[in-house]
A and B are shown apart, each in its own frame.
Chain A
């Protein structure tokens, strides 16, 4: 079946502009995660959605970052007033089981490469 998809694959923007990144998880997956990988760094957790529960936003680096998940499916990560340090690959992942089941495998999308000039 279809995997996790993300759009756009590449985004170049100017400092100070807002950007929206989209993630379509695998159908039926209740958990959705956003990560980012900055140059030379590991994967950094940003935010986690599980079903209809309130999202875990503990990884968001600043209040310029926000995310929504509509209808328990598609998610949008919004970065307002982008800064150069926001340049990174933003990855979305989904999993079938809630995170309480600690062996759940996350399925990743191809990522969005964001470049802030």
Chain B
């Protein structure tokens, strides 16, 4: 069983705050690291897929970095907005896709 961990499990921030959270994964047999956003009552939505050590991806106020040698990825949100409230899932692509437990972000207006 692959160990894909996300921290923190939940996070409360004020509107306008910048925040970041972590996904840690095995550093061997790495193919790709995916990030998804899952809003309540909606389907998980793909944010990024990263494959190379040192990759950085950006989508609006959200960005992600990847360190495959040490087995972690950070997701950053700049100037959080209430609509950013969701669970953010990372998924390690080895032989199959293994999801972390998610970080639940709540942004207070």
Chain A: residues with CB nearer than 8 A to chain B? 3-4, 33, 35, 41-45, 48, 56, 91, 93, 99, 102-103, 105-111
Give Cα A4–Cα B43 distance, bound, in whole angstroms.
9
Q: A102-B93, A103-B32, A103-B51 are in contact. Are A42 and B43 (CB under 8 A)?
A: no
B96 touches A42 (CB 8 A): no
A91 touches B44 (CB 8 A): yes
Report the count of interface residues on B (CB-CB < 8 A).
Answer: 23
A42 touches B93 (CB 8 A): no
Q: Which of B43, B45, B49 has the most CB of A within 10 A?
A: B43
| Distance from A98 Cβ to chain B, minimum over Cβ atoms (Å) | 12
B96 touches A43 (CB 8 A): no
Given contacts A42-B89, A43-B89, A106-B46, 6 further A-B contacts (CB under 8 A): A42-B101, A102-B31, A102-B93, A103-B49, A105-B46, A110-B43
Chain A residues near B43 (CB-CB < 8 A): 3-4, 91, 107-111
| Distance from B93 Cβ to chain A, minimum over Cβ atoms (Å) | 5
Nearest A-chain residue to B102, judged by Cβ: A42
Chain B: residues with CB nearer than 8 A to chain A? 4, 31-32, 34, 36, 41-46, 49, 51, 89, 91, 93, 96-102
Nearest A-chain residue to B38, judged by Cβ: A108
| Distance from A3 Cβ to chain B, minimum over Cβ atoms (Å) | 7
Q: Which of A4, A43, A93, A110 has the most CB of B within 10 A?
A: A43
Q: A42-B100, A43-B99, A48-B96 are in contact. Are A107 and B46 (CB under 8 A)?
A: yes
B99 touches A105 (CB 8 A): no
Give Cα A110–Cα B34 distance, bound, in whole angstroms.
19
Chain A residues near B4 (CB-CB < 8 A): 42
Give Cα A111–Cα B44 distance, bound, in whole angstroms.
10
Chain A residues near B96 (CB-CB < 8 A): 45, 48, 56, 99
| Distance from A48 Cβ to chain B, minimum over Cβ atoms (Å) | 7
Nearest B-chain residue to A43, judged by Cβ: B99
| Distance from B53 Cβ to chain A, minimum over Cβ atoms (Å) | 15
